[in-house]
Amino acid sequence: MSRTLLPTPIALHPEADLTTLVEHRTVYSLNAFELNIFETHQQAAQVPLSMGALVLTTMLRGKKVMHLPGRDAFDYLPGESVIVSEQQTMVIDFPEADEQNPTQCLAVAIPADTIRGTVDMLNERYPRVEEHTPWLLDEHAYAHLHNTPELTGTLERIIRVSQEDTAAKDVLAGFTLQELLVRLMQTQARKLIFDNYAQHLTSHRFAHVVQHIKRNLAEPLPIEKLSEMACMSKATFFRLFKREFGLTPVEFIIQERLKEAKRLLRHPLSTVAEVCYRTGFNNPAYFQKLFRKHEGLTPGVYKKQQGALG
């Protein structure tokens, strides 16, 4: 997984300071939200947890198996988040937790009126590109998310502001929570259109753009052409794309090209140079630089690692 999607783990408690080995809880209560950090240091199963509010949980270390009402159990790993509605009770397994490999997870409990206020403000001042898809925090359809770099960064700011001891702490916390809600809705919008664009080709103008990008990664993808496909000026296209998804069209193209590059590099007969050109980078030095920036290693090292795993 890209290192930009992995949150920074928080220091674990010494064993002598733990009140329990299963879901030891540290709480930071602020006016805007409540931040909970849970640690588990031994295997356990069917542990229920209910927070009494909508909660965004994010894995920092280890592995859980989550059981939520109405869906199959699923593995829950670092770099992922889960939204749990006020009415839901999480039931959690800890199949691998022990003293050397504890789990650590944060849970941000968010008041319902804060969510409503933020959603109403966005729909009034910064509407989404299609009127029939207003801003909405979907608690069910897109509740299990792979973190974006932007969401990860906001979560880390939530942790920092919670641990600060300043007079402006609650003011900063309120602004950071609003940012978190926006990032969550943008992440859900990405999942809706980036992963399921074929279902929205006739109802969302960005779905057609996303399809074109994904099908033509090896070709030039000028913003002028993409904005024409969306029936917008270049400036409006750039602005609304970033508002909707939390990243620019250029950043999305790079993201998709790197994703395809990783897929091609896993093929035993591919070469780094061939993959560079097949994914539209056309400049090996630029490809190397971007790949290292996003993945933390060079394409050659990534290919060797994948070969060893295979």
- State the DSSP code for 17: G
Tracing tokens 């209910």 back to the chain, one arrives at: 50
- State the DSSP code for 63: -
d(CA 4, CA 235): 28
Domain 199-310, CATH: 1.10.10.60
Token couple for 309: 């795993």
Coil, strand or helix at 143: coil
- 97 C-beta neighbours (distance < 10 Å), count: 23
- State the DSSP code for 8: P
Query: By the 8 A CB rule, do 184 and 142 touch?
Result: no
d(CA 173, CA 185): 18
pLDDT band at 70 (very low <50, low <70, confident <90, very high): confident
Widest pairwise Cα distance in the chain: 63
Coil, strand or helix at 250: helix
Residue 134, pLDDT score: 93
Residue 1, pLDDT score: 52
pTM: 0.89
Best CA proximity match to 35, nearest among 91, 138, 101, 110: 110
Burial of 127 (0-12, 13-18, 19+ CB in 10 A): middle
d(CA 266, CA 43): 34
Residue 142, pLDDT score: 86
Query: Each residue of 184-216: pLDDT tens digit?
Result: 999 999 999 999 999 999 999 999 999 999 999
User: What mean pLDDT value characterizes the chain?
Assistant: 93
Query: Each residue of 210-255: pLDDT tens digit?
Result: 999 999 999 999 999 999 999 999 999 999 999 999 999 999 999 9
**Ranges of each domain in the chain:** 3-194, 199-310
Q: Which residue has the higher pLDDT, 52 or 44?
A: 44
Q: Does the domain made of 3-194 have the CATH classification 2.60.120.280? A: yes
Q: Which amino acid is at 74?
A: F
Side-chain-side CA neighbours of 246 within 13 Å: the count stands at: 23
Average pLDDT over residues 119-147: 92
pLDDT band at 8 (very low <50, low <70, confident <90, very high): confident
d(CA 1, CA 110): 28
pLDDT band at 9 (very low <50, low <70, confident <90, very high): confident
d(CA 148, CA 1): 11
List Cβ neighbours of 302 (8 Å cut-off, separation of 6 or more): 262, 265, 291, 295
Residue 140, pLDDT score: 83
